[in-house]
Amino acid sequence: MRGSLVRRVRHWVANRGWRATLAEVLRQIGSAVLWRAIEGVSDRGTGEAHPFDLRYGVDTSGLIWGERLRSGQQGEYWATGYYGISPSIFWKAMDRLGLDWTQYTFVDIGCGKGRALMLASRYPFRRALGVELSAELAAVTNQNLKSFRAEWRLDLPAEAIAGDATLLQLPPGALVLYLYHPFAAPVMREFLTHLRASLREEPRELYLLYVNPELDELVREFALRKLWDERFAMEEEDAAADRFGANNERVIAYRIEADT
């Protein structure tokens, strides 16, 4: 409990600074919301398998906080955890982005159990790739991809690799990068620096889709142009299954320009 509390507070401070963290704690002091955040537990939602898993015979449900994900890698401490994106939110955000998908590779940064990779197979990407710090979760993703069957799934290459996103050799060509707030500010800064270096080596078109965009200000520091910032409503079955009792999700889309 004490270790989780210290870790969570350090994440808040790294992301927001001391002043904003203290203001948030004072605002929520004495409330159940704060204590659930500290404990890493929610009393909302059923805790059962998401309908997506039951429908397609995969394992993408559950909430795994970062302190429970052991990888032995340098950035492990700043991992936020795994929680699968609501399918209706993912599809609404992708449809809002509305690109010619055949020109792009989809890359999920912090893919966890791979739900977003499976959802992305609804679109005719050149390829779908996930990178996950936890080798155990990357293996779960690849098993899910093997067993996943859906009438809308397109035949595109898809896989997950275990590794550090700040060292990832990004695929060549135009990319759509997807992040469900996978890490705190120290690693996000490293990742964006790595992304900029990759773009200098190969100038190309890149879009970034950021769900639960805790670090929007940091992302914009790296000259990523915000295209839109919207809050999408979940479909009824997603809202009913949400562990936190949420019924919507904020998503920001950015276009990443090459340095001039």
68 and 120, same structural domain?
yes
Residue 45 included in any domain: no
100 and 28, same structural domain?
no
CATH number (domain holding residue 79): 3.40.50.150
Residue 184 included in any domain: yes
What's the rounded Cα separation, in Å, for the pair 8 and 81? 11
What's the confidence (pLDDT) of residue 20? 44
33 and 92, same structural domain?
no
104 and 26, same structural domain?
no
Please report, rounded to a whole number, the percentage of residues in the chain having pLDDT higher than 70. 77
Q: Residue range 240-256: average pLDDT?
A: 94
Band of pLDDT at residue 69, cut at 50, 70 and 90: low
The answer to whether the beta carbons of residues 61 and 221 sit under 8 Å apart is: no
Residue 105 included in any domain: yes
CB-count burial class (<10 Å; 0-12, 13-18, 19+) for 228: exposed
* Three-point CA angle 12, 16, 18, nearest 5°: 80
* Three-point CA angle 64, 52, 182, nearest 5°: 35
Structure tokens given for 136: 């155990």
pLDDT above 50 for 22: no
What is the per-residue pLDDT across 135-187, written as a single tens digit (0 to 9) for each? 999 999 999 999 999 999 999 999 999 999 999 999 999 999 999 999 999 99
Residue 46 included in any domain: no
Averaged confidence pLDDT in the chain = 84
**Domain extent for 24:** 2-39
Question: How many structural domains does the chain have?
Answer: 2
134 and 8, same structural domain?
no
What's the confidence (pLDDT) of residue 27? 46
What's the rounded Cα separation, in Å, for the pair 197 and 215? 20
Residue 44 included in any domain: no
230 and 160, same structural domain?
yes
What's the rounded Cα separation, in Å, for the pair 77 and 10? 10
26 and 56, same structural domain?
no
193 and 127, same structural domain?
yes
What's the rounded Cα separation, in Å, for the pair 229 and 210? 10
Structure tokens given for 69: 């994900």
Residue 178 included in any domain: yes
Q: Which is more confidently placed, 100 or 257?
A: 100
Nearest to 137 by CA among 52, 57, 66: 66
Residue 139 included in any domain: yes
112 and 68, same structural domain?
yes
60 and 13, same structural domain?
no
Band of pLDDT at residue 259, cut at 50, 70 and 90: low
Residue 213 included in any domain: yes
Handedness of CA 230, 103, 56, 165 (dihedral sign): negative
